[in-house]
Amino acid sequence: MTTTPLQSIRNFTRQALEQWFTDQGLPAFRGRQVYEWLWKKHARSFSEMTNLPLELRSRLEAAFTLNHLSIDLQQKSSDGTVKVRFKLYDGNLVEGVLIPTEQRLTACISSQVGCNLGCKFCATGFMKNKRNLEPYEIYDQVAAIHAICMEDFGKPLSNIVYMGMGEPLLNYANVLTSTELITSPDGMGMSAKRITVSTAGIAKMIRKLGDDGVRFNLALSLHAPDDAKRSSLMPINDSNDLKTLVAALNYFYEKTKGRITFEYILFDGINETEEDARNLVKLCQQVPGARVNIIEYNAIREADYSKSKEEQRERFIQYLEAQRVVAKVRRSRGKDIDAACGQLANK
């Protein structure tokens, strides 16, 4: 005889929870109480919900599961970066990173268990994508990293980037629901402008972000300013070329006026020439307000790439700035614990 798996209570909206209590002949306000425990107080068990009668807590325990993730491993880099490996309810693992600077505390979080896009320079791209994360699993990463911020730095988390494992726009509905929970007054109440969602470039989903009027920022993992080079690094470019992506980004901007950033890893001998810089400037001029984050490449054992030499990187950035392109260097953090950009692979 097989038993039916318990439903995860955290897949319920507040209204749906109120309705469940009403259907049970109980007052709707109990649903609001439970919702607050789930999202504002981050309750990890029904027994923590102390303003509910004991009998009601037992009923909830029998009807639902919370499916909380747990911290499987926590590592601290010599530069203060913290990498957290999370264990999900089904045993799968994902990673998140806390990146502290003087100005901000940023959580880099995952949206999938693995990734199928196969970017040639990314450790996650060499893993099989096992499944999408649920909205509450994304939320739990943020809540856990926020708790580390408070414990280690005495300050709240200030920024969130969806730049961990997986392609966020291939888990579109769950990613959007997670941002709604994070920004809701009933959840963490964070400003959407402090959230950046990064994509390898799924044009039709970038357009959908515009149609849905999202309020967070968007980053495109560009890494090469022409189709031939980009396709050699990122196979997704074969079906989402630069012309298509530029049109989608313009549509997104027209609908949302959201900030758009090009993420650009400089590889030695591949995408660092003056011609590359010129082509990057041309792309930026086609997208309103586009800015560039120059990223230092972080070596992985699966790929044979090298980071651009410092003098070449400086020449590249100087050319961009001379053309009035806003360019910032994102220094690698957490390399000694495989927590830097492109290194997340559950190590």
Q: Which of 98, 100, 179 is nearest to 133 (CA)?
A: 179
Residue-wise pLDDT tens digits, 50-97:
999 999 999 999 999 999 999 999 998 888 899 999 999 999 999 999
- Taking the domains of the chain in order of start, what are their residue ranges? 7-65, 70-337
pTM for this predicted structure: 0.92
Catalytic residue selected from 108, 115, 119, 341 = 341
* CATH architecture, domain 70-337: Alpha-Beta Barrel (3.20)
Our separate counts of H helices and E strands in the chain read 10, 14
As a residue count, the chain comes to 347
Q: In the predicted model, is pLDDT for residue 170 greater than 70?
A: yes
Sign of CA dihedral 271, 235, 292, 341: negative
Q: Is 115 a catalytic residue?
A: no
Residue-wise pLDDT tens digits, 261-320:
999 999 999 999 999 999 999 999 999 999 999 998 887 777 788 889 999 999 999 999
pLDDT at 127 (0 to 100): 83
Q: Which of 188, 184, 136, 191 is nearest to 159 (CA)?
A: 191
pLDDT class for 6, splitting at 50, 70, 90?
Answer: confident
3-state SS assignment for residue 127? coil
Q: Do 7-65 and 70-337 show the same overall fold? A: no
pLDDT class for 345, splitting at 50, 70, 90?
Answer: low
* CATH architecture, domain 7-65: Orthogonal Bundle (1.10)
* Helix 135-153, helix 172-183: angle, nearest 10: 40
Give the C-alpha separation, 21 to 25, whole Å.
6
Catalytic residue selected from 95, 134, 167, 263 = 95
Q: In the predicted model, is pLDDT for residue 134 greater than 90?
A: yes
Provide the percentage of residues in the chain whose pLDDT is more than 70: 94
Q: Is 341 a catalytic residue?
A: yes
Give the C-alpha separation, 143 to 164, whole Å.
16
Q: Which of 35, 39, 30, 59 is nearest to 47 (CA)?
A: 59
